[in-house]
Structure 1
Amino acid sequence: MASVDISPTLNFLTDAGHLLATTAPEISAFLMIQRNNLMFENELPPPSDFQRQHVCTCCGHIMILGHGSSLTIKPKHAAARRKNHRSAQHRRVKETREATPSSGPTKQFACGPCGRLTEIKLPAPSRISRRKAKTQKAAQATGATTGTAPTTSAAPVAPSSLAQSANASSKKRAKSRKAGLQALLEQKNASRSGFGLSLSDFMQK
């Protein structure tokens, strides 16, 4: 019942604090601190990650990027990579981390007035499955060793199409040969006709 009774007060403090965030940041921070204290006294759940990255839990300042507050993205295991990664101890730690579910990068908010750092851990990205690619490579290697034809090979040419192309080429050659012989015959007949006389005719006369 206590949480229901104080809900209007919490809503009022939240709205008033956000309205005064830019015009009167000190009063806004005081109202948000009173809101946090009221929630703590009534044993309400602590602020969520979304609220923690929005309002500083130390001074109550509403963190607005570019207005005194800043955001930094810290990559995962950045400090561990700077150490000697060739040591056996580091390899064991790495294997343990890979075996257990781990978190992703971390968002770090720096409050401008008080300088408090608020860290929000992000979920780890999903892993890329390479099992399918390995299976395909293994299948290709097996096909190469057994001598089976790959599935992407071109289809064989039908024998009938080869025979048709051969017949067409032979017919073309026969036509060209016949045309050449006919041209030679016509040229010979034309030379014979001339004026109807030849060298032998003049010698006889």
Structure 2
Amino acid sequence: MASDELPATLKFLTDAGHLLATSSPETSAFILRHRDELILERELTQPETQKQHVCTCCGHIMILGRGSSMSLKKEKKVKTKDRKIAKPRCGPTKTISCGHCGKVTEVQLPPPAPISRRQTKMNASATSAAKTAPTAAAPKETPQKPNANASSKKRAKSRKAGLQALLDQSKGAKQSGRGLGLSLTDFMQR
């Protein structure tokens, strides 16, 4: 078989195997197994998704819930006091078992991206202020850090002011709305 015919043949065998999967599962498994043998014979690499989708042992299409099962195993953290040797991080392992022959396929998933923490606004403003200030002419002063108790008092004050503004606004709306609607008490007062 010529090398330029191989991709077309593999695509045909894949499509034929999937079309026959429900009507004739044994024929489908035979066709897909033959496709796997062609890939191995030509020393090609099989796509990772195809390894997870079709059993490499019997050629059966693994459909979860129809005999085949899948489980995820997380990498367990090993608590060590001494972390001199940095191990490369591994992601979770996806384990898929074939419902026809029982072969277990394990797929190592990539590790999750490391969590990036953003700097607080105080740190960002402190670094920008340090960059703009001249270092030779300015006398060295220790910057006073805001007291945690003082900042909580400021927050409480602003919250109280906001609530007071809402209360004043609602009182103003009640007084201005009095003249628009008449009630029995309006007639009794006059």
TM over 0.5, yes or no? yes
Q: Is the 8 A contact 1:3 1:42 kept in 2?
A: no
Question: What TM-score comes out, normalization by structure 1 length?
Answer: 0.55
Q: Report the CA distance between 1:33 and its aligned residue.
A: 0.7
Name the residue aligned to 1:124: 111
Question: Separation in 2 of the partners of 1:148 and 1:5?
Answer: 74
Q: Which has the higher helix share?
A: 1
- Partner secondary structure for residue 116 of structure 2: coil
CA deviations over 1:88-145 (Å, ceiling 9, x no partner) = xx444x553xx34322111111111111111111111122234725x85xx7xxxxx9
Instruction: Tell me which amino acid in the other structure corresponds to 1:61.
Output: H
Question: Separation in 2 of the partners of 1:34 and 1:50?
Answer: 18
Give the direction of change, closer, same or farther, for the CA distance of 1:147–1:58 in structure 2 (3 Å limit).
same
Q: Unmatched 5+ residue regions in structure 2?
A: 127-141, 156-190
- Partner secondary structure for residue 3 of structure 2: helix
* Superposition CA RMSD, Å: 3.1
Question: What TM-score comes out, normalization by structure 2 length?
Answer: 0.59
Name the residue aligned to 1:24: 24
Larger Rg: 1
**Pairing 1:34–2:45 present:** no
Give the number of aligned pairs: 134
Name the residue aligned to 2:61: 62
**Pairing 1:72–2:71 present:** yes
Give the direction of change, closer, same or farther, for the CA distance of 1:121–1:95 in structure 2 (3 Å limit).
farther
- Partner secondary structure for residue 120 of structure 1: strand
4+ residue segments displaced more than 4 Å: 148-154
Same amino acid, percent of matched pairs: 49
Give the direction of change, closer, same or farther, for the CA distance of 1:74–1:5 in structure 2 (3 Å limit).
same
Question: Separation in 1 of the partners of 2:88 and 2:11?
Answer: 38
* Higher RCO structure, 1 or 2 (CA under 8 Å, sep 6+): 1
